[in-house]
Amino acid sequence: MERTYFDNSATTRMDRRVMEEMLPYFDQRYGNASSMHSFGREAYDAIELARERTAKALGATTREVVFTSGGTESDNLAIQGAAFANIAKGRHIITTAFEHHAVLHTCHFMGSQGFRVTYLPVDGQGLVDPEDLKRAMTKETILVSVMAANNEVGTIQPIRELGAIAHEGGSLFHTDAVQSIAKLPVDIASDNIDLISISAHKFHGPKGVGALCVRKGVKLRPVVYGGGQERGLRSSTENVPGIVGLGKAIKIGVSEMEDSVARMVAIRDRLIDGTLSSLEGCFLNGHRTKRLCNNAHFRFDLVEGEALVLSLDMKGFATSTGSACSTRSAETSHVLKALGVRPEDSRGSLRLSLSKFNTMEEAERFLGAIGEIVARLRSMAPRAARSGGA
């Protein structure tokens, strides 16, 4: 059976060119970047090349790039780091109700540490209203954190405008760009970003490595203490192969972005239009146009998302009901809840997330399979539900 991977928001297949660049750093150039000998210098140079590539992709300088273990750690360092370092100025943080748990749970933690956190609402398509941010800003606000694009429904936020509002109010601006790197252009200076989180495994790099870009002059308190690597902001022996992979992946991702985005948009639109036009009781979640090039997120009446994902898996399609982090829990998605989707309606969710490796043929095969699967699952739904009684 042919297998099709439509779960690229969870993680992506590594690009072979990335893997090849990483390989020597496992068994030939395996030095510790802090060592003085030639092995150490090789590792150090490799990290610095990756730092240059990362900085270039984000419009930053090399001194502004801090390598971490991934998106989660970058979000923690940004939020905890900025909040604890700026406590003398204020104790107010603003974020949104539909951030990834790496941001939300960190903000909950900050709430337990004496900070006040405001959770901005989003509209029915997942957009933050800049006027809401203006109203929420106070003299005490030290950090605003809004994701560049949502991992479940793909809605893209007006980051530049939100960043400008944060700055006008004297606050720092952080964005979780884990889902948008190599899909949306970014330049931290013109986009008014002080802190930006990225994660290599979302753009065809390795898992377990990410970066936080920290604009010059931004004060952060470390989350991890130790040997003082990464200018004291992230101690621990550097993950050299991972960092090399991140650098290569971001370089490829950004230089090939135009072509790969155009391909993904064409496939995404075929999936959206084909599904909505051929099936009754099927809706698109998130914004129709302000949406990631690789995201199609549906809601089906009278179908359980888990049953849909399992049935599709049996036909060779890897999909998801929402975020990979929440799919193993039976809880309603906080993202759909923030969009105002009723819990009973959010149960039939299906996310298709693409990468540059997907093809139009795969989309056509999916469209050939989905109708029959949905019809079969609906025929098994309790009669009361089918007649609208439950």
What residues are labeled active site? 325
The answer to whether 151 and 177 have CB atoms below 8 angstroms apart is no
Provide, rounded to whole angstroms, the least separation between the CB of residue 291 and ligand PLP: 14
Q: Phi and psi for 354 in degrees, rounded to 5?
A: -100, 165
- Decide: is 72 part of the binding site for ligand PLP (CB under 6 A): yes
Q: Which residue has the tokens 């399979």?
A: 369
Distance, in Å, from the CA atom of 122 to the CA atom of 299, rounded to the nearest integer, reads 18
| Nearest Cα residue to 180 out of 171, 191, 172 | 191
- Decide: is 295 part of the binding site for ligand PLP (CB under 6 A): no
Which DSSP category does 208 fall into?
A: S
**Tokens read off for 24:** 């020597």
Question: Which three-class secondary structure state does DSSP give residue 335?
Answer: helix
- Decide: is 178 part of the binding site for ligand PLP (CB under 6 A): yes
Contact positions with ligand PLP (CB under 6 A) in 81-140: 100, 102
- Decide: is 71 part of the binding site for ligand PLP (CB under 6 A): yes
**Tokens read off for 93:** 């943080």
User: What is the b/e burial string over 57-95, where b = at least 16 CB atoms within 10 angstroms of the residue's CB?
Assistant: bbbbeeebbbbbbbbbbbbbbbbbbbbbbbeeebbbbbb
Nearer of residues 150 and 311 to ligand PLP, judged by Cβ: 150
**Interface stretch with ligand PLP, choices 109-117, 176-184, 311-319, 376-384 (CB under 6 A):** 176-184
Provide, rounded to whole angstroms, the least separation between the CB of residue 383 and ligand PLP: 38
Nearer of residues 95 and 179 to ligand PLP, judged by Cβ: 179
- Decide: is 159 part of the binding site for ligand PLP (CB under 6 A): no
Nearer of residues 54 and 72 to ligand PLP, judged by Cβ: 72
Residue 249, amino acid: A
- Decide: is 245 part of the binding site for ligand PLP (CB under 6 A): no
Which DSSP category does 64 fall into?
A: G
- Decide: is 157 part of the binding site for ligand PLP (CB under 6 A): no
Nearer of residues 50 and 102 to ligand PLP, judged by Cβ: 102
Non-local CB neighbours of 328 within 8 Å, separated by 6+ positions: none
Among 179, 326, 353, 358, which residue interacts with ligand PLP (rule: CB under 6 A)? 179
Among 4, 8, 106, 151, which residue interacts with ligand PLP (rule: CB under 6 A)? 151
The answer to whether 253 and 8 have CB atoms below 8 angstroms apart is no
Among 83, 110, 147, 292, which residue interacts with ligand PLP (rule: CB under 6 A)? 147
- Decide: is 80 part of the binding site for ligand PLP (CB under 6 A): no
- Decide: is 199 part of the binding site for ligand PLP (CB under 6 A): yes
Distance, in Å, from the CA atom of 55 to the CA atom of 134, rounded to the nearest integer, reads 30
Q: Which residue has the tokens 């065809």?
A: 204
Which residue in the shown chain puts its C-beta closest to ligand PLP?
71
Nearer of residues 151 and 349 to ligand PLP, judged by Cβ: 151
**Interface stretch with ligand PLP, choices 47-55, 137-145, 173-181, 215-223 (CB under 6 A):** 173-181
Distance, in Å, from the CA atom of 390 to the CA atom of 383, rounded to the nearest integer, reads 9
Question: Which three-class secondary structure state does DSSP give residue 118?
Answer: strand
The residues of the shown chain that bind ligand PLP, judged by CB under 6 A, are 70-72, 75, 100, 102, 147, 151, 176, 178-179, 199, 210, 324
